[in-house]
Amino acid sequence: MSDIATKIEARFSEMGVKVKPSEIETRLDQLINKFKVPPEEARRNVINYFLKQHNIPKSEFFAMQRDSPQVKISEIREDGKWVALRGKVIQLWETNHESVSQVGLLGDETGTIKFTKWTKAGLPQVEEGKSYQFKNVITSEWQGQFSVKLNRTSEIVGIEEDIEVGSTPVEFRGAVVDVQNGSGLIKRCPECNRALVKGACGEHGKVEGIYDLRVKAVMDDGEKVQDILLNREITESMIGITLEEAKEMATEALDQAVVLDLIKSKLVGRYFVVSGAKLDRFILIETIRQDVRSVDEEIKKLLDAPLAMEA
Amino acid sequence: MADGGFVREVAHRIFAAEFRESNLQAREGQDQYSPQYLLTPTGAKVNRVFIVGTLTEKEDVGTDAEFWRGRIVDPTGAFFVTAGQYQPEAAQVLARTTPPEFVAVIGKPNTYTTKEGNMLTSIRAESIQVVDAATRDAWVLDTAKHTTARLEKLKGSEPDAVKAKEHYSTNMDTYRAMVAAALESMRAR
């Protein structure tokens, strides 16, 4: 108990406020021993009491308390950690709830991460393409995806430097088990580059689309699933036809699905090694090659040491 | 974000000999949308499989609409694969492929109980593609690896391992021999 009291006293003196240790202890003692309040609750109560006494706003007290460590985006691997980030706002997305003032994607040299800025936080608006120092933001995890939340105790400071957004490439080995709809020959909105659905853009309505080739696929190594995206360049070299040839094919067959069929026949059910930048649940493929292994060597490995599994 | 609470099921690699012996079905959770699993003798909890083998026979057994059934052989035995009107793409591939041919199948396990009370397993194909010999060899290696890993886990006390042992009284030596034979069969060629 005196331990708690010492900490409270130290914390207040940091803020330039003198409180008597004996007074803290008396209050704690009364709450904990006489009124059977759990120590953590008692600590809170005592702190609030002195804050009121000295007219210190709560946010100031708690914000100062957390001088969160500066981290890189790729280092964020834990839920509920207070951290500081230097990053560029890559994209702002539409907010779908009034409690969220801004939501989008932040990037630094090591990767990208989603951020959410609560309306209640009362923080200044950030702009796409600008870099900022974010202080005291909290990490959060949902289904293996990390994001950071900006709340009342967070701070945003604009910085001059233009942060180069990079990424740590990841590799994945496995079989392609699905090529999804929206792959193959598609049309994009000339305004916003979004893929058109039935000739219409979600934002700009009916537009004259621009043709593109891409693949959205799923890979699987028997343990976990990985979504991958192939852009036009990679798709062309993988399938062995150009965008122009794909257009011709589709025109000839009067059906865009022939291109999709071709893609499926080259990818589905086959083993690949891919690498690229991780974005959200996807890997944006930079390299893809068929996973060729020396069968004899592998068999030897498995038969000689059938129980020692390779990683 | 966009994918909600949905997590795609992993496609397990299972040899035909093991798949044939599987007959323990379980549903996780209560409501009608919770996925159904087939627990195999080595403790794989399967809602989707990935197999590569040789298509040796195929037949349209449908009455009104097309309903294709194919027999796909791996080093340990044969799988039955079906594709009907609700799997049009897979059905088309099966319809135009002439056996023998190497094919890769991704699909859902299905079980059927005969009048005599025997349970037959088959795969309802989500997709079928013609592949090359290298892919087939890679699959045998991959499946050998995964099966061996599951056998290792079977010694432990994970719930799926315990359930599999209880239900099948799995003879680990039999399955080890199966894996070894599958690998040897490739070496012989």
**Which residue of A lies nearest to B47 if distances are taken between CA atoms?**
A222
pLDDT digits over A187-212, tens only?
A: 999 988 888 888 898 888 899 999 99
Size of interface A-B (CB pairs under 8 A): 99
- Average of per-residue pLDDT across A50-74: 77
Amino acid present at A92:
L
| B154 phi, psi to nearest 5 deg | -65, -25
**Which residue of A lies nearest to B6 if distances are taken between CA atoms?**
A143
- Terminus-to-terminus CA distance in chain B, angstroms? 49
| B56 phi, psi to nearest 5 deg | -110, -30
Given a contact cutoff of 8 angstroms between Cβ atoms, the answer to whether A140 and A150 are in contact is no
Residues of chain B whose C-beta is under 8 A from some C-beta in A? Answer: 1, 3, 5, 7-13, 48, 50, 52, 89, 103-106, 126-131, 134-135, 137-139, 141-142, 144-146, 148-149, 152, 176, 179-180, 183-184, 186-187
Kindly determine whether residue A178 and residue B187, on different chains, have CB atoms separated by under 8 Å: no
Q: Lowest mean pLDDT of A113-127, A231-245, B20-34, name the range.
A: B20-34
pLDDT at residue B4, as a whole number = 45
> In 3D, which of A57, A149, A42 has the Cα closest to residue A102?
A149
What residue ranges in B92-163 does DSSP mark as E strands?
Answer: 101-113, 119-130
- Average of per-residue pLDDT across A266-294: 90
- Average of per-residue pLDDT across A143-168: 86
Question: Which residues does A77 contact at the CB level (< 8 Å), separation at least 6?
Answer: A146
Alpha-carbon span A113 to A146, nearest angstrom: 7
Domains of chain B (ranges; CATH) run 16-188 (2.40.50.140)
pLDDT at residue A62, as a whole number = 66
Query: B167 or A18: whose pLDDT is higher?
Result: B167
Kindly determine whether residue A270 and residue B148, on different chains, have CB atoms separated by under 8 Å: no
**Structure token pair of residue B189:** 């060629």
Q: What is the pLDDT of chain B when averaged over all its residues?
A: 91
The A residues from 142 to 161 touching B (CB cutoff 8 Å) are: 143, 145
The nearest CA of chain B is from the CA of A269 a distance in Å of 5
Examine the pLDDT at B69 and tell me if it is beyond 90: yes
> In 3D, which of B101, B75, B83, B13 has the Cα closest to residue B49?
B13
pLDDT digits over A213-227, tens only?
A: 999 999 999 999 999
ipTM: 0.90
| B72 phi, psi to nearest 5 deg | -120, 125
Q: For residue B187, what is the enclosing H or E element? A: helix B172-188
Residue B121 burial (CB count, 10 A): 20
Contact residues, chain B, for A182 at CB < 8 Å: none
Of the partner residues A264, A291, A296, the one whose CB lies closest to the CB of residue B138: A291
β-pair partners for B181:
none
Of the partner residues B129, B137, B145, the one whose CB lies closest to the CB of residue A295: B137
Kindly determine whether residue B141 and residue A295, on different chains, have CB atoms separated by under 8 Å: yes
Contact residues, chain B, for A298 at CB < 8 Å: 141
pLDDT at residue A309, as a whole number = 44
Alpha-carbon span B62 to B47, nearest angstrom: 25
Examine the pLDDT at A311 and tell me if it is beyond 70: no
Alpha-carbon span A144 to A141, nearest angstrom: 6
Alpha-carbon span A293 to B138, nearest angstrom: 8
The nearest CA of chain B is from the CA of A173 a distance in Å of 11
Partner B contacted by A120 (CB < 8 A)? no
Kindly determine whether residue B104 and residue A222, on different chains, have CB atoms separated by under 8 Å: no
pTM for the full predicted model? 0.70
**Which residue of A lies nearest to B9 if distances are taken between CA atoms?**
A225
β-pair partners for A70:
A84
pLDDT digits over A33-57, tens only?
A: 888 888 888 888 888 888 888 888 7
Given a contact cutoff of 8 angstroms between Cβ atoms, the answer to whether B82 and B68 are in contact is yes
Alpha-carbon span A71 to A51, nearest angstrom: 31
pLDDT at residue A220, as a whole number = 95
The nearest CA of chain B is from the CA of A155 a distance in Å of 25
Alpha-carbon span B73 to A249, nearest angstrom: 35
Examine the pLDDT at A63 and tell me if it is beyond 60: no
Partner B contacted by A308 (CB < 8 A)? no
Of the partner residues A218, A269, A306, the one whose CB lies closest to the CB of residue B104: A269
Torsion, Cα A76 A82 A88 A93, to 10 degrees, reads: 90
Kindly determine whether residue B142 and residue A218, on different chains, have CB atoms separated by under 8 Å: no
